[in-house]
């Protein structure tokens, strides 16, 4: 994710991303959000839903096997459900532009729209 978009999320949800200040030996959030800008809205909505319930802290946010992965400490069933929903939805959203996308069939798996896949 671009630095500008990351900083927007960090500013809006500072408690969720508090571990970004820790060294990489403590939390992978030290490396930032490791996915494309196309998932910004999806990630922002997930953060919005879970911020007001039990406080959690993300330990890593990244792309893996073509989908969004959110690793965190704390939370309960509600937070687990929101995270599962966001991760599942990421397989239908282009990681680059946010349009409707789909994972490819072989090679390095990525979820992209047809236009971004051609680029």
* pTM for the predicted model, two decimal places: 0.94
Is 37 part of any domain? yes
Is 52 part of any domain? yes
- CA atoms of 67 and 65, how far apart (whole Å): 6
The rounded radius of gyration (Å) of the Cα atoms in the chain is: 14
Is 117 part of any domain? no
Is 42 part of any domain? yes
pLDDT for 95 equals: 98
Is 116 part of any domain? no
pLDDT for 53 equals: 65
Is 7 part of any domain? yes
Residue 69 DSSP one-character state:
E
Is 118 part of any domain? no
Is 50 part of any domain? yes
- Identify whether the C-beta of residue 103 lies closer than 8 Å to the C-beta of residue 116: no
Tally of structural domains, the chain: 1
Residue 23 has pLDDT above 90, yes or no: yes
Of the two residues 72 and 106, the one the predictor is more confident about is: 72
Q: Which domain holds residue 25?
A: 3-91
């Amino acid at each position: 994710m671009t630095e500008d978009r990351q900083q927007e999320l960090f500013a809006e949800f500072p408690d969720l991303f508090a571990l970004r200040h820790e060294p990489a030996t403590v939390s992978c959030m030290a490396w930032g959000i490791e996915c494309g800008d196309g998932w910004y809205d999806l990630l922002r909505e997930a953060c919005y839903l879970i911020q007001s319930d039990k406080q959690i802290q993300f330990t890593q946010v990244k792309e893996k096997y073509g989908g969004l992965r959110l690793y965190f400490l704390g939370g309960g069933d509600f937070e687990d459900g929101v995270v599962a929903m966001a991760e599942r939805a990421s397989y239908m959203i282009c990681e680059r532009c946010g349009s409707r996308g789909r994972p490819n069939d072989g090679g390095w798996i990525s979820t992209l729209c047809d236009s971004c896949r051609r680029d």
